[in-house]
Structure 1
């Protein structure tokens, strides 16, 4: 498997918001969501590479390619 799949990611527990509730502030959540999207994109791309190397189903390859592009776009915006 690719390095991205094997990488261990540490996610810290959310901090209390200014109101003292357990809901994390938006600025604390967004970077974690973007990091997760980037990781998911790398995992999909790893599976995609494996399918291409194994002459996998063309439809599945196309769908995974679109999904990886969606995840990359979501992480970048």
Structure 2
């Protein structure tokens, strides 16, 4: 499986000086670390099901493009 650091990709895409609130940053980091440890597509899907609200929180604080990048990274992990 691919090794993609979702946290780094999403945070690096934020505009200069923009940051997530601490709770969103922490949850994104935790989900990213869990995704890096995932061994199967089912593992990835389980992680995303358990954290399905995270995408909306990313969208709220950083916009649609960051949420779409998050989705794209997760899809890349499944390949």
Which of the two has higher C-alpha Rg?
Answer: 1
Instruction: Give the number of the structure with larger relative contact order, counting CA–CA contacts within 8 Å between residues 6 or more apart.
Output: 2
TM-score, normalization by structure 2: 0.34
Q: Which has the higher helix share?
A: 2
TM-score, normalization by structure 1: 0.35
